[in-house]
Amino acid sequence: MNKLRIYIQDRLFGILGQVALVLMGVALFLLERYRHAALIDLSSMYYYVVLACVAIIVWHTINYMRMRPYYESLLEALHSKEPLEAIYILHGEVNQEQELMKRLLINQQRMYKTKLDAIERKREIQHHFTLQWVHQMKTPLSVLDMQLQQAEERIKKGNELSVNEQSQLNRSMNEETEKLNNGLDLMLSSARLEKLELDLYVKPVELHTVIREYINRYKKLLIQYSIFPKLSGEATAATDQKWFGFIMNQLITNAIKYSKLKPGSKNLYITIDQQADTTIVTIKDEGIGIAATDLKRVFDPFFTGKNGRMTGESTGMGLYLAKEVCQRLGHTLTASSTQGEGAEFVVTIKASGIHRF
C-alpha cells in the first residue's frame, strides 16, 4: 500500500477542514468586497488563498516526511515472515498515540508468548509423561505375563502349586495389578487436570471417611510390608471428594512405596486437625525419608530423586499432580523429612480457598 495514500486517507477530514477554512476566508473577502467594494482588492484575496494553500502543502509535506519512516516500518512489520517478532520492527513513532499503541502491542505480544510457552511446556510435560507412563506400565504387565506363564508351565508338567506358592503368586499378582490401577488413575487424573473446573463438585466432605477408604484399599500391601496405619481425628471440609481422594491416594501410596524399603514394622500416622476455618491433614511415615538435596524438588514434574532410583517404580508425576490439584482447589501441600526416619506431608484446607472457583 502506498505510504502517501495512507497519509492522505488518515488525514482526509483534516485536509478538507483546512480547505474549508480557506474557502471561508474567501467568502469573507467576497462579502466585505460586496459591502465595501472600494476597500477590498481581489489581489489581497488571491494572495491569501495562495499563501494559505502553500502553508497547508508545506505543513503536510513536513509532517509526511516525519511520518514516512513509521509507515515504512509498519508496512515492513505487516509483511514480516516472523509475525510474533514483527512488533520489534516498528520504529519512527512521532506522537504519543503511536508510542502508546506500540507499547500496547509489545505487552500483548509478551503476554501471548508467555501463554504460548506455558501451553508448550504443558504439552511437553504431558507428552513426556505419556511416554514414561507407557514404559512404567510395561513392567507390571511383563511381570504378570511371566508369572502366568510359569504357573501354566508347572501345571502342564503336572506340578501343582502348593498353598503357600498360590498365596505368594496371588499376593504378587495383586501387587502388580494395583500398580496398573494406580498408573491408570494417574494418567486419567493428569488428562482431567487441565479442565479441572469442568470436573469439580464442591461439597462438605468427611475427610476421615475418604482417608479410611484408601487405607482399606491398600490393606493387603500395608500388611505385606508390616506398615501399620493409625488414623486420628475427624473433620468435615469443603472440597471435591474425588480430587481430595486423588491427593490422599498419591500420598498414601508414596508412603507405602518408601516405607516398604525399610525392614521391620513401621507406622503410618494420618492426623486430621480442624481449627476454626482451617483443616490440616498430616501424613507421616517411618520409611527411608527424603534426602535434604531432593526435598525442595519433590513436587517438580518427573523428579524421582535418590529414592525413585532405588525403587525403579517412580514416574516423578504423583506428587507433582497432587501439588497441582491442591493449588487448583485452593489447598496447600508441603513436605518435610529427615532421611532415614521418614517423611511428612501436610495438606492445609482453608474454608476461603475453595471459593476461588
Tell me the helices (H) and strands (E) count for the chain, helix number first: 11, 7
State yes or no: pLDDT of 1 exceeds 70: no
pLDDT at position 235 is: 92
pLDDT at position 314 is: 66
Q: Which of the pair, 184 or 197, is modelled with greater confidence?
A: 184
DSSP 225: T
Sheet with 278-285, side-by-side order of all strands: 227-232, 266-275, 278-285, 342-350, 332-338
Quick check: 189 and 248 in contact, CB under 8 A? no
Residue 97 to residue 89: CA distance in whole angstroms: 18
Which grid coordinates are listed for 328?
A: 487448583
Residue 289 backbone phi and psi in degrees, to 5: 80, 180
Which grid coordinates are listed for 253?
A: 501410596
Residue 214 to residue 322: CA distance in whole angstroms: 15
- Mean pLDDT of all residues belonging to the chain: 85
Share of residues in the chain with pLDDT > 90 (%): 28
Query: What is the pLDDT confidence band of residue 310, given thresholds at 50, 70 and 90?
Result: low
For 195, other C-beta atoms within 10 Å of its C-beta total 9
Q: Where are the domains of the chain?
A: 3-94, 124-194, 196-357
State yes or no: pLDDT of 136 exceeds 50: yes
Q: Which of the pair, 180 or 273, is modelled with greater confidence?
A: 273
Quick check: 226 and 318 in contact, CB under 8 A? no
State yes or no: pLDDT of 116 exceeds 70: yes
Quick check: 255 and 285 in contact, CB under 8 A? yes
State yes or no: pLDDT of 313 exceeds 70: no
State yes or no: pLDDT of 195 exceeds 80: no
State yes or no: pLDDT of 203 exceeds 50: yes
Query: What is the pLDDT confidence band of residue 334, given thresholds at 50, 70 and 90?
Result: very high
pLDDT at position 221 is: 85
State yes or no: pLDDT of 204 exceeds 60: yes
pLDDT at position 52 is: 92
pLDDT at position 344 is: 94
Share of residues in the chain with pLDDT > 70 (%): 95
Question: At which residue does the C-alpha cell 482588492 appear?
Answer: 41
Q: What radius of gyration do the chain's Cα atoms show?
A: 38
State yes or no: pLDDT of 51 exceeds 90: yes
Secondary structure class of 268 (helix, strand, coil): strand
Domain 196-357 top-level CATH class: alpha beta
Instruction: Mention every residue, 6+ apart, whose C-beta is less than 8 A from residue 340.
Output: 288, 289
Residue 210 to residue 248: CA distance in whole angstroms: 8
| Virtual torsion, Cα 194, 196, 198, 204, nearest 10 deg | 180
Question: At which residue does the C-alpha cell 462438605 appear?
Answer: 204
Q: What is the pLDDT of residues 210-258, one digit of tens each?
A: 999 999 988 888 988 899 999 999 999 999 999 999 999 999 998 998 8
State yes or no: pLDDT of 37 exceeds 80: no
State yes or no: pLDDT of 29 exceeds 80: yes
State yes or no: pLDDT of 357 exceeds 50: no
